[in-house]
């Protein structure tokens, strides 16, 4: 009888914790993503514009100094003003997922190395609508909560590439052909890159005994609140200092990273390869690729370059790669970068034909 009571209490506690996690997640997304993007969609529909490009302090396409502290400072301010709400939510969700959700639940949907696990993780990444950097703390939390490499990479890439708000903005601002192209290429990139990383990573899936149920109270002697503070503090220490420093450095070197557009047309092949590498390294907020591409199109950017940037810019950045490093090996991080660069080049080639 006592065992049945303990089991019932255990189950009730897990249900309560799971509901608490869902409430925090939904409220956070409403605050940082869903409501602001819903309002912004009307602006995009009526003006066919969502703001200036964050690169070049609004002067993208013009020659910039190869190094500028003022450009770096302005870029850092503009970037963090655009993402701070989402990053706060990401830290909360990334820490809470480690202390509130049962391992069995995460393992059921995200613990395996099958296509279905990758597909479910991709779908889970669609409504959260985060940029690659804001997704990183959540991805780290999922990895520490026994999600497989393949599932975590799918979730990590699906957030920026399959963001429904970005797709809608892109349709209103650039044209619906760009939205369709991005959607199809985004799905291909998410599924192929996650599959590839799962093959080269040491740990493809997580093995957890069937009787291992994660319970925040029974897991150790610490209270749930203390365990959450520890998880949150660890995420903050691993992410915020590097985040600020790398964003500032990238901002200072904008003139070196993004030269005048005229230089790109001199050698289209090298231009596509260069943009694939630099675009994958560079950091932008959610939907930040749209005003960049809009500005470059007005300056005569070729479709091949658009096809490259439409994947390279949002998918990854050197910042997000550094933020997910605590949960991945250097080998996995390096292969992820290379895979996205290759897929961006392929996207550029297809863009030259289709767009």
- State which H helix or E strand residue 210 sits in: none
**Tell me, what's the pLDDT at 9?**
64
Q: Which residues contact 44 (CB under 8 A, 6 or more apart)?
A: 50, 168, 169, 172, 173
**Tell me, what's the pLDDT at 247?**
94
The neighbour count for residue 106, using CB atoms within 10 Å, is 21
In 3D space, the residue among 217, 213, 239 whose CA is nearest the CA of residue 228 turns out to be 217
Q: Compute CA 205 distance to the chain's CA centroid, rounded to the nearest angstrom.
A: 21
In 3D space, the residue among 207, 95, 90 whose CA is nearest the CA of residue 147 turns out to be 207
pLDDT digits (tens, 9 = 90+) for 290-341: 999 998 888 788 899 999 999 999 999 999 999 999 889 999 999 999 999 9
State the chain's mean pLDDT as an integer.
Answer: 87
**Tell me, what's the pLDDT at 42?**
93
Instruction: Point out the residues of the chain with pLDDT beneath 50.
Output: 2, 5, 205-219
**Tell me, what's the pLDDT at 299?**
79
Q: C-alpha distances in angstroms, 158 versus 58, 120, 187, 311? A: 28, 11, 8, 11
Q: C-alpha distances in angstroms, 255 versus 60, 66, 67, 180, 250? A: 9, 4, 6, 31, 10
**Tell me, what's the pLDDT at 260?**
57
């Amino acid at each position: 009888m006592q065992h049945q009571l303990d089991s019932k209490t255990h189950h009730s506690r897990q249900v309560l914790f799971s509901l608490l996690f869902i409430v925090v997640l939904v409220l956070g997304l409403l605050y940082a993503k869903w409501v602001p993007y819903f309002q912004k969609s009307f602006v995009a529909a009526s003006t066919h514009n969502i703001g200036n490009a964050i690169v070049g302090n609004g002067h993208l396409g013009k020659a910039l100094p190869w190094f500028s502290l003022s450009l770096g400072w302005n870029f850092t301010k503009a970037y963090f003003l655009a993402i701070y709400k989402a990053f706060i939510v990401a830290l909360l969700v990334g820490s809470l997922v480690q202390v509130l959700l049962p391992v069995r639940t995460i393992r059921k949907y995200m613990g395996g190395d099958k296509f279905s696990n990758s597909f479910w993780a991709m779908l889970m990444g669609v409504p959260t609508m985060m940029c690659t950097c804001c997704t990183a703390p959540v991805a780290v939390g999922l990895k520490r909560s026994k999600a497989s490499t393949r599932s975590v990479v799918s979730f990590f890439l699906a957030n920026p590439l399959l963001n429904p708000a970005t797709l809608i903005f892109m349709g209103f601002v650039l044209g619906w052909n760009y939205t369709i192209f991005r959607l199809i290429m985004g799905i291909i990139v998410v599924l192929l890159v996650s599959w590839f990383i799962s093959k080269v990573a040491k740990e493809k899936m997580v093995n957890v005994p069937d009787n291992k149920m994660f319970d925040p109270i029974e897991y150790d002697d610490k209270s749930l609140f203390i365990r959450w503070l520890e998880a949150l503090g660890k995420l903050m220490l691993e992410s915020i200092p590097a985040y600020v420093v790398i964003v500032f450095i990238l901002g200072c070197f904008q003139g070196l990273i993004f030269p005048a557009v005229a230089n790109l047309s001199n050698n289209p092949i090298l231009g596509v390869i260069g943009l694939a590498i630099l675009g994958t390294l560079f950091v932008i907020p959610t939907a930040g690729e749209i005003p960049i591409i809009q500005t470059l199109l007005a300056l005569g950017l070729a479709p091949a370059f658009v096809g490259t940037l439409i994947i390279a810019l949002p998918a990854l950045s050197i910042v997000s790669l550094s933020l997910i490093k605590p949960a991945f090996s250097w080998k996995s991080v390096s292969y992820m970068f290379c895979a996205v660069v290759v897929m961006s080049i392929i996207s550029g080639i297809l863009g030259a034909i289709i767009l």
